[in-house]
Amino acid sequence: MLMLSRVSETLYWMSRYMERAEHTARLLDLQVHLLLDQTALDPDQRWNMMLNAIGLAPVDGAHDALSLTHWLTFDTLNDASVLSCISSARENARHVREQISSEMWEQVNSMFFEVKRLENSALWNDQPHRFFRMVKEGAHLFQGITDSTMTNGEGWNFIQVGRYIERASLIARLLDVHFRAFQLTPLHDPIRENFLEWVSLLKSCTAYEAYCKVYTADLRPDRIAEYLLLNSDFPHTVRYSVDHLYSCLQAIARTTESKRAKHVNRLAGKLNAMLDYSSVDEIMTSGLHQILQEVQAQCAQIHSAISSAYIVYPADDFVS
Amino acid sequence: MTAEFASKPMFDHYQLDEAYDEMFSPDGGVRPQYASIHRLLEGLTEEEFRRRKDAADLTFLNQGITFTVYGNDEGTERIFPYDLIPRVITRDEWDTIERGLIQRITALNLFLKDIYHDGHILNDGVVPRDLVFTCRHYRRQMRGVNVPNDVYTAVVGTDLVRLPSGEFVVLEDNLRVPSGVSYMLSNRNLMKYVFPRIFGAYGVRQIDDYGQRLLETLRGLAPRRRDEPTIVLLTPGVYNSAYFEHTFLARQMGIQLVEGRDLLVHDNIVYMRTTAGLKRVDVIYRRVDDDFLDPLAFRSDSILGVAGLLNAYRAGNVTLGNAIGTGIADDKAIYSYVPDIIRYYLNEDIILNNVETYRLTDDTVRAHVLQQLDRLVVKAVGESGGYGMLIGPHSTAEERVEFARRIEADPRNYIAQPTLALSRAPCLFDSGVEPRSVDLRPYILFDGQKVTICPGGLTRVALRRGSLVVNSSQGGGSKDTWVLNA
């Protein structure tokens, strides 16, 4: 059955917002924990890093941790807040309720109300960690429900595309912000200073344990970069995300047989190949910053290409 | 509490009055078609009743069977209230209803064709010309437009009520975008879950293929000779009160549920925007009112419609079900002429009578009506859903003054009818079984060859004690309607 452009766009954004909510919740969780420890970074600088990582402008002067955390979590005037992202995911889901499974709708709906309800709760005030864990679990549950209750057809593929394009660009941005903040750290030696910051970078991608299994607990910046950027087996890496992004876009192209699909797939394939055939040494030599910028720019290009191939193409593209 | 309930006979609070009672004859005897249901209710323990009620609630909730109430900031979605006791209609009763509706829809469809073409009925002075041309729902854009198979009203839901004599009469024709059919189908599903045994024993006629019949009807109206015409359901979107029904019907028929922004018109052909490219659309089952269909032709502030749709329609490249401009024939002032319309086109006497209706454009009639507003029902001619009406016996003096002022200002816009004692059917409450006023909305399909009445319909219930208003927007509910085979 043909799929309406509006529906696929809505599914795509629903999924992107859910991914963003999860990512922001995880970063905030780690941020709150990091600030408990004495680190070399002063808290204001740490906050600005965090804001930068999710695409917000830095704040001048002193930061009030409590109100900032609240603003980033609950403030619906802040489009980037966790609650705003969940609310946007829910609004999108609501418009395509008949396309997603009832279980998916129930999950995003109850998640929204649960987060709203907890704004003034003791749980939030006393144990923010448990609160953020609940948000992360909610997002995981939504993904799991999606994968087990929805036909793996075109709509599902658009959901995957939304999830992975968001994830790839978020991780690329996070890495970029981090490596620029700690650019004086020797790349090839075990980390001695700011150890917690590097652990937290891995944890931001839920990758600490997975990293240790590959490289042992011996943390080295070049290895961390290699892992988060180029590992093809771990779900929260740039390469893994781009891999899945590419194969879902190919699946969509097969179903729709759209002649405009070629351009989208060429862009996604190019990004995929770049990551496939790079080595971390080359990247470190030619400049990690450039590569990470390139990844983000290409994700943005793929986004516009998807839009002009499947959503807002000019009115001369007829099928049967 | 529990013990008290269990020992209390279910029908303790059931009182008959002058209205026709669906279950009991005036002497208090149970009508034969209700005998088994009556026995079941008498023997129902509180626990069993709760169990069934809970099961029903849960089913409705899980299926998301809801509607939206306008003018309520809280927004809005409520479960559509329903009652578990079915309304039973005998085969003989149904025969009359069926013949009457076939006659009525056939005539009204001919009337629509006539007034948008030659206007014979106007030339012959049967229906006053000014009444037609002053109707808010008359669409001059439809003059001389030929619609496929001459079908103007493909999908109809006519409101019937039952008088104290037991006779069914027509209260309202709904020829634009009648809703509620999804509740009819959901209620039926529910009853089969909750009362399987008694349902099985009753010999109830099937309504479950309504979706398929609707699809066939729409397919038959496709403008091009094609094996597989593309049919879509056009909805105003998630904020519409009937959105649940739109998704429900689209799913039942296996067709796309589209919004105005999904469609575009190019060279007078309608397309929908899909990820695979533009796909030509042949038939639109539209659940959007005329006013909002095409911003270029009707309300320019509409964002629910499709620019250029009217021209594509007039060019014969797409079919709309129902046609544009059908509202003229369910105008409540035109309604009073339906018996004449039937005689004019079919040369037959009306089978299902109208409710007596006062035309307020006549000075003597108006003066007479204004004197007894406290006993009459006044309705705005173009409204539906229970909006814009005055129920005399339940009104305040201020409301009557206000309505009198409105009537004097624009007599064409109102009609008056006697306050009817609607028939009452048994409904289940915590306190036992009590009678409530009901109406009946059967659903009718017309493909140009044949008028098909789905054997059943939506029985709407005024759940508030003493209320006569059955509309869901005004606190009404519904119950399943069983039309018997024998």
pLDDT in tens, A8-27: 999 999 999 999 999 999 99
Distance (Å, whole) CA B257 – CA B255: 7
Residue A311, min C-alpha distance to chain B (Å): 6
The answer to whether the predicted template modeling score (pTM) of the entire model surpasses 0.90 is no
Write out pLDDT tens, residues A259-316.
889 999 999 999 999 999 999 999 999 899 999 999 999 999 999 999 999 999 988 7
Contact residues, chain A, for B261 at CB < 8 Å: 6
Helix (H) or strand (E) holding B232: strand B231-234
Mean pLDDT of all residues belonging to chain A: 92
- Per-residue confidence (pLDDT) for residue B239, from 0 to 100: 85
Does residue B452 surpass a pLDDT of 70? Answer: yes
Residue A234, min C-alpha distance to chain B (Å): 31
Q: Which residues neighbour B243 within 8 Å (Cβ) at sequence distance 6 or greater?
A: B68, B235, B236, B237
B261:A320 CB<8 A: no
- Per-residue confidence (pLDDT) for residue B79, from 0 to 100: 65
Average pLDDT over residues A107-123: 87
What proportion of chain A, given as a percentage, has pLDDT over 70? 99
B20 half-sphere exposure, CB direction, 13 A CA radius? 15
- Bridge partners, residue B377, by sequence: B391, B417
Helical residues (DSSP H) of chain A, grouped into ranges: 5-34, 43-53, 65-73, 82-95, 102-117, 122-126, 128-149, 154-181, 195-204, 208-215, 221-230, 238-256, 261-276, 280-286, 288-306
Average pLDDT over residues B123-150: 94
Contact residues, chain B, for A97 at CB < 8 Å: 64, 238, 247
- Bridge partners, residue B424, by sequence: B21, B437
Q: Which of A94, A256, A319 sits opposite B278 (nearest CB)?
A: A319
Residue B258, min C-alpha distance to chain A (Å): 8
Question: How many A/B residue pairs have CB atoms within 8 Å?
Answer: 72
Contact residues, chain B, for A257 at CB < 8 Å: 276
pLDDT confidence of A36, banded at 50, 70, 90? confident
- Other beta carbons less than 10 A from residue B58's beta carbon: 10
Please name the residue of chain B whose CA is at the shortest distance from the CA of residue A307.
B275
What is the CATH number assigned to the segment(s) B358-418? 3.30.1490.270
pLDDT confidence of A40, banded at 50, 70, 90? low
Candidate ranges A207-211, B244-248, B330-334, B378-382; pick with highest mean pLDDT? A207-211
Residue B274, min C-alpha distance to chain A (Å): 4
| DSSP track, B318-380 | SEEESPTTGGGGG-HHHHTTHHHHHHHHH----SSPBPP-EETTSHHHHHHHHHTGGGEEEEE
Write out pLDDT tens, residues B267-311.
999 999 999 999 999 999 999 999 999 999 999 998 899 999 999
Q: Which of B76, B274, B282, B304 to mutate to test the interface with A (most CBs of A within 10 A)?
A: B274
Distance (Å, whole) CA B448 – CA A260: 42
Contact residues, chain B, for A318 at CB < 8 Å: 271, 277-280
Comparing A154 with A58, which gets the higher pLDDT?
A154
Q: Is A262 on the interface with B (CB under 8 A)?
A: no
B276:A256 CB<8 A: yes
Lowest mean pLDDT among A100-114, B72-86, B379-393: B72-86
Q: Is A12 on the interface with B (CB under 8 A)?
A: no
Enumerate the domain spans of chain B.
358-418
Mean pLDDT of all residues belonging to chain B: 89
A310:B275 CB<8 A: yes
- Per-residue confidence (pLDDT) for residue A63, from 0 to 100: 78
Average pLDDT over residues B456-474: 81
- Per-residue confidence (pLDDT) for residue B75, from 0 to 100: 38
Lowest mean pLDDT among A20-24, A72-76, A256-260: A256-260
Does residue B10 surpass a pLDDT of 70? Answer: yes
A6:B280 CB<8 A: no
- Per-residue confidence (pLDDT) for residue B244, from 0 to 100: 86
